Structure 1
Amino acid sequence: MLKIGITGGIGSGKTIVCKMFEILGVPVYYADERAKWLTNHDLQLRKEIKELLGRQAYDEHGQYNRKWVAAQVFDNPELLKMLNSLIHPRVFADTDQWFLQHQHKPYTLREAALMNAAGDKNDFDSVIVVSAPVGLRIERIRKRDPQRNEEEIKAIIDRQKTEEQFASIANHTIMNDDEHLLIPQVLALHEKLTQQA
């Protein structure tokens, strides 16, 4: 089974591309969604997060307080690094279990915003990058999250890899720029990856 990473900046359209692959029967692991699930359900992780950030990391209902946590770490790279050092190993262990459950498939996708090139501290066979111009990404995010202003969105984009950095880790690129048709690109790549497997 091939292990394929899929990434791209916020607003690039990773999720819609992943949904297309799922329609084709490809299992997709959503790292950010699983991380959210684990912060709420992994008891050891909850304990470690509370020790790092305090009780406010969880709300009165016992749910992970993402907004509050994000505000604490947004301008504190050291604290963010410490938080990630708690969450990321749990997500990687969870991913390994998930891969085992899907090893009968020709290939699987692991979606994440943070990703290295294939073979660089990961066991990916290749990496797909979903790409879109920054202006279009901002427009999409504003439609999706109307409460966010352009400055907030630009601040998030500035903290992510640049398009050039994404391009440097890409073995395959899907252009989601409203000029290239998305479905033919996904179908062609699906066929190629299935043949490689």
Structure 2
Amino acid sequence: MKSNNAPLQIGITGGIGSGKSLASKIFYALGVPVYDADTRARWVMQYNPVLIQDIITAFGTSAYNADTQQLNRSYLAAQVFNNAEKVALLNSIVHPRVAEDYADWVQAHSKYPYLLKEAALLYEAGSYQFLDKIITVSAPITVRIERIRNRDPHRTLTDIQAIMDKQLSEEEKLQRADFILYNDESRLLIPQILALHEQFLAMAGKTY
């Protein structure tokens, strides 16, 4: 949360195919630092020595390839597939380390008026509680599915539905959001983002 001269911390989330990454790129083009939680989580799992040891302890030495020392994602995915207890275990190990990484990143970018944290599972992981405001990027499911199939032709409808089932419903995300960006192809996204950008700068009481 914002304190003293700390930057505002704004979360941005949305269901798969909503366009949250596109929105984040536009904010970044405006000079706003963006923390991509999903990408950073993968980095932390690969390079944080404490987390690596915790994962090996919980899931065995096969969690990392012996030759390359790279995270064995296929093995780990198979371990947690359709196993709620193992998913919870993995999350309990990974999330605290990602939270530490995020805190360090915020400190390193403390001179900015506001920061953006992009995460697909912002609500599900509970990290929304430590942010000042939340943006939800919204699009109809039919539009999202079409985007995903164009972007990831290897995904089947069953694959897409399985991912959606693991995410909070669109209705719940919208209800919890402080701000909504409509990326439904009937409204321009950039003017909405520009308006939010000015609003966040005003809230922070600063300018770039």
TM-score by length of 2: 0.89
In structure 1, the partner of 2:20 is 14
In structure 2, the partner of 1:195 is 202
Aligned AA (1:42):
N
Residue by residue, what CA displacement relative to the aligned partner does 1:49-73 show, whole Å, maximum 9, x if unpaired?
A: 1111122222342211223322321
In structure 2, the partner of 1:68 is 75
Q: Is the 8 A contact 2:133 2:178 kept in 1?
A: yes
Does residue 53 of structure 2 align to residue 43 of structure 1? no
Question: Matches of residues 1-197 of structure 1 in structure 2 within 5 Å?
Answer: 1-59=7-65, 60-116=67-123, 122-197=129-204
Residue by residue, what CA displacement relative to the aligned partner does 1:19-56 show, whole Å, maximum 9, x if unpaired?
A: 00000000010111111001110111111111111222
Give the Å deviation of 1:121.
Answer: 6.6
Aligned AA (2:34):
V
Number of residue-to-residue matches in the alignment? 196
Give every structure 1 segment of 4 or more consecutive aligned residues whose post-TM-superposition deviation is greater than 3 Å.
none
Give the Å deviation of 1:145.
Answer: 1.5
Identity level (%)? 48
Residue by residue, what CA displacement relative to the aligned partner does 1:68-99 show, whole Å, maximum 9, x if unpaired?
A: 32232130011000000010000111111111
Structure 1 residue runs without a partner (length 5+): none
Aligned AA (1:167):
L
Aligned AA (2:15):
G
In angstroms, what is the RMSD of aligned CA positions?
A: 1.7
Distance 1:180 1:142 in 2: 22
Distance 1:66 1:111 in 2: 22
TM-score by length of 1: 0.94
Structure 2 residue runs without a partner (length 5+): 1-6
Distance 2:80 2:39 in 1: 19
Give the Å deviation of 1:146.
Answer: 1.3
